[in-house]
Structure 1
Amino acid sequence: MKKLIFSILPAFLFAFISCMNMSSGSGENGSVRVALPGSGRATYTYSKNNADKFIVRLYNDDFDQTEEGAVGGVIEFGDLEPGKYTATAEAWNLGKNILEGSGSTEITVRAGETTDCNITMILEGQTAYYSKYMILTDYSNTKYIYDYPSCNKSSKSVSFGTSYNTVEDNNGQIYHIEGSNLYKDNDSVLNISDTSKLIKNPLYYDSKTDTYWIGLEKKIIQFQFCLQNSDKSGNTEAFGDPRTPQGQSFLNFAVQENKVYLIYIDYEDSSDPNIIYFTKDENVKLTEQKRIQLSTIGVSGEVTDMAVLEDGTVAVLVNEKSLNPANQFTLTDGCTVNSRGALVLLSSDLSTYKVYGWTDSPRTISAKLNSGSDDPYNGAPGNSQIASITAYIPEYAGRNSHFYGPMRIVAIRPKELVIADCGANFVLPDYNEKKNGKMFTHNRLMTVNLRNFAIDCKKEFSEDELKFQNLTISGNIAVTTSGDWSNRYVDEK
């Protein structure tokens, strides 16, 4: 369940997929027919022999359909409303569970016609890191291993116990800390003498150098193992003392070769985390190069995870979930609710950045109160005194393009990040219609396409299946689920 590294190789291109030529028809709707490699209808020579499954997705705001096919097959999308669509394609090696290539294109479907489209696929770098698994943690710290492609629980078995966060190496082996030991899958490989000093996310893996890092309050320690002969002693290298001048401990870290990135909170402004970039020399001395605050980037909240991608990009997750004033929804106090977050991608020297999935505009969520009374709350259930709340929460229509509260990077593929996201949106009571208010919680996996930076929902879990956090609120919005008004909720929005 961790941040690992991918590579972007030179752009080797090949046309994997062709669609039929334009043809006329009599229907009002259109269609798309995709000829897969090996098909007699394909318009090119297929030369990538490792792929044996193709996944093609066609979608727009009103349509979303995914189909799978094998070499030589044809995939058809019929009865399509005329308009613009996005077509994406992936070629998979099922035996090795590897994505061989992928690509996308924009197409226009016209009434009564079959659309001609070509999706140019980019070969994925086979030396790149591929997350085989997603290690997901529920609010009680129980860990589950999910297979990356299927989003189903994996047959791989690891006894995590109450272990700290995990990392996965290039061989699909999972490292985690439990008690005073570092484990590779179920085998103890190292004793850690002082686990009381471990930071929040203590493990990190740098696939560039095949090294593992453990973060303590006052230092970062590197452990490099010779996995080929199961050498458990390895070698240990401590990075200086990566503290701020005031001596604060850091909260998160990421490493790539001689670059080290830290997150710390300044004593003078605990609400504005700092990102610091260090380099190390041959004497293992750290030299600070640059720092940047979240407020400069235009986001706020807690940094929950970070990673350095293969091209040197620094990925930082920011999570802001709060209720102000805390634990009450009352008109007189003026309530502001935050359930939002962002993926921040920074250049390796922290000089430039982009923000994705952040909700930066407030909106008002209002209750429908009884009318025709001097006391608008007369007849309202209990002592509810809610008129409206100011919400920094994604609009329901934009829920799949924004975050509710990103918590961890759980998988990295060459062109994709998978992020565990958890938060809530609300509707308030409708007293006229006697409908209760409700908090709608979301526990889901979000994907970020690293070519076009589109955000989408890979899977949403029901609360019975998996909860990343146990979200609760106190106050009058949480009304009873029994009695005459039970389960009469206004529509989610």
Structure 2
Amino acid sequence: MKKLIFSILPAFLFAFISCMNMSSGSGENGSVRVALPGNSRAAYNKDNADKFTVRLYNDDFDKTEEGALGGVLEFEDLEPGTYTAEAEAWNTSENLLEGSGSAEIKVKAGETSECTIKMILEGIFYSKYMLFSDYSGNMYVSDYPTCTEKKKEGFKNNNPCLYFAEGNDGCIYYVKQYYDTSKSALGNYRSYKYDLNTSTPEYIEITQSNQNFFDGCYDSTTDIYWVARKNYDGYNYSLYLYKGTDEYNTGITNVDFKNCVIRGKNLYYSSGTNPIGYATFDYTTGAAIKITEKPLSYFGVSGKVTDMAVLEDGTVAVLIRDANVSSSYDMNTPYSVTDTYNVANNGTVTSRGALILLSSDLSTYKVYGWTDSSRTISATGSSSGYDVQLNSITAYIPEYEERNSHFYGPMRIVAVRPKELVIADCGANFVLPDYSAQKNGKMYAHNRLMTVNLRNFAIGCKKEFSESEIKFQNLDISGSLTVISSGTDGWSDGDEK
């Protein structure tokens, strides 16, 4: 399963950060004194958070102070007016945001202002692991802080792990066909629940053996792992959902389904290329009522949807991958397809993608990491006297200096942390020959884990893998970037730039 679904849990009181009225005087400016939670505050679990930050700001002032348990933070010499205070509590050992809150503060001349910031517990359910697959169909479970491998479920018998996700209790859910060794054949599908502390996963056999399962989703609000199947009657597709062996016909039709996620009563789906849809879902009957559908052109992007997730505040996260490939790519059959790039002279090469964050009803959205315009990748130096001559290609690919702020081709949301997404990104960049320096052109494959900060939406790179470590997708070239010279040896590969 490839979905990570998060719920807004009830608002638990976490702690109070107090801004106390300590004194008054005749000074022209005022101040704010912040008392941080200490050991005596029963509502505060001191074993979780050990660092607090408080940001105080308005149009003319912006300052952040950091403190520890039982400490005091002071903001002095403040002009009278209204300020906003934002407080966060951090578990530094896990780099985890434990709580946050905000309040407005009125500062008066000559006084130290009094306020209370109620902090709400966050991150009750968050990814402890990063889950991703390689193009051969192996499933990887990696530790989030260290990026070290915790488990690898190998691909064998033409039978990969599919639709994997992490549950409330840290167990891993996925789907796999049963392999009957006595018959040397694949049988029915099974949904698995795997506690990494045990050696054998639990499973439920789904009494459905056809090949139309396309996705799975875990809903943390109900602790249910759903498996999605599209039924084709010769004219149209219909969406079916499975809870264990129970089958539900949602009634949603007319879409060649590729993605499906559920959170509470909200159900979201996509055909991969078009559209992105939203429906309300009845857990008792399994029936769904379609509310709206949005084509990718509505968001100003192209390509296909590779993954979807619902975040803890109800925001819908959608990954778009746009690559100039010879055939379509599906995360659920990663072992069967290669991305083949055409680098013919004066051709167009695309390797880009986007994260779209939508409101729960799909009415508002923002797009991040998208390469909107093309650039020209040119050969350099004199090209006379060579049998193969490459001049230029038009590329919808991030500039090299944009590589850590734009996507090459997002494929999977591998973890959702408090205020952060981790995304598996895979694509290619190209360098054309430098004839004078005797350097061939080269394709550079990027297989990396990207982070998106959900506070400021900054994009960064958490880890880049070499191709000997992992390939999220097998990238290949149609054509040649190697220059054939007439009698000149010793050519080397070009440098990425």
- TM-score by length of structure 2 reads 0.70
Deviation string for 1:162-218 (max 9, x for gaps)?
A: 211311101100011111211111323210222433444x21101112111101013
Q: Aligned-pair RMSD on alpha carbons?
A: 3.7
In structure 1, the residue matched to 2:250 is: 240
Indicate how the Cα distance of structure 1 residues 479 and 444 shifts in structure 2: closer, same or farther if over 3 A, else same: farther
In structure 1, the residue matched to 2:6 is: 5
In structure 2, the residue matched to 1:466 is: 470
CA distance in 1, matches of 2:365, 2:309: 14
Indicate how the Cα distance of structure 1 residues 322 and 455 shifts in structure 2: closer, same or farther if over 3 A, else same: same
What 5-or-longer segments of structure 1 have no aligned partner? Answer: 17-41, 57-68, 74-87, 104-120, 224-233, 266-271, 371-376
CA distance in 2, matches of 1:197, 1:241: 20
In structure 2, the residue matched to 1:80 is: none
Q: Post-superposition shift, 1:429?
A: 0.3
Deviation string for 1:12-43 (max 9, x for gaps)?
A: 78789xxxxxxxxxxxxxxxxxxxxxxxxx98
The answer on 1:358 being equivalent to 2:370 is yes
Indicate how the Cα distance of structure 1 residues 235 and 452 shifts in structure 2: closer, same or farther if over 3 A, else same: same
In structure 2, the residue matched to 1:182 is: 191
CA distance in 2, matches of 1:434, 1:151: 39
Matched-pair contact (CA < 8 Å) for 1:302–1:319? yes
In structure 1, the residue matched to 2:271 is: 264
Q: Post-superposition shift, 1:421?
A: 0.3
Deviation string for 1:360-395 (max 9, x for gaps)?
A: 01111100141xxxxxx4333xx4231111111111
Higher strand share: 2
Report matched runs for 1:32-431 at 5 Å. 45-47=36-38, 49-51=46-48, 91-92=90-91, 94=93, 99-101=97-99, 125-126=121-122, 128-154=124-150, 162-179=160-177, 180-185=189-194, 186-200=200-214, 202-218=215-231, 219-223=239-243, 236=246, 238-244=248-254, 248-264=255-271, 272-281=273-282, 283-322=285-324, 328-331=342-345, 334-370=346-382, 377-380=383-386, 383-431=387-435
Indicate how the Cα distance of structure 1 residues 463 and 9 shifts in structure 2: closer, same or farther if over 3 A, else same: farther
Matched-pair contact (CA < 8 Å) for 1:320–1:339? yes
CA distance in 1, matches of 2:139, 2:52: 29
In structure 1, the residue matched to 2:58 is: none
Secondary structure class of the residue paired with 2:350: strand
Matched-pair contact (CA < 8 Å) for 1:243–1:250? no
Matched-pair contact (CA < 8 Å) for 2:123–2:417? no
* Percent identity of paired positions between Structure 1 and Structure 2: 47
What 5-or-longer segments of structure 2 have no aligned partner? Answer: 19-32, 39-43, 54-66, 72-86, 102-116, 178-188, 195-199, 232-238, 328-339
Matched-pair contact (CA < 8 Å) for 2:139–2:154? no
Amino acid at match of 2:250: G
Larger radius of gyration: 2
Secondary structure class of the residue paired with 1:295: helix
Matched-pair contact (CA < 8 Å) for 2:452–2:458? yes
CA distance in 2, matches of 1:140, 1:133: 21
Indicate how the Cα distance of structure 1 residues 358 and 399 shifts in structure 2: closer, same or farther if over 3 A, else same: same
Indicate how the Cα distance of structure 1 residues 429 and 175 shifts in structure 2: closer, same or farther if over 3 A, else same: same
Q: Post-superposition shift, 1:102?
A: 7.8
Matched-pair contact (CA < 8 Å) for 2:49–2:98? no
Deviation string for 1:340-377 (max 9, x for gaps)?
A: 0001111111111110110001111100141xxxxxx4
* Residue 435 of structure 1, aligned match among 432, 439, 443: 439
Amino acid at match of 2:410: P
- TM-score by length of structure 1 reads 0.70
Indicate how the Cα distance of structure 1 residues 414 and 141 shifts in structure 2: closer, same or farther if over 3 A, else same: same
CA distance in 2, matches of 1:335, 1:311: 43
CA distance in 1, matches of 2:17, 2:465: 36
Amino acid at match of 2:91: W
Matched-pair contact (CA < 8 Å) for 2:369–2:459? yes
Q: Post-superposition shift, 1:411?
A: 0.5
My pick for the range that moved more, 122-131 or 249-258, is 122-131
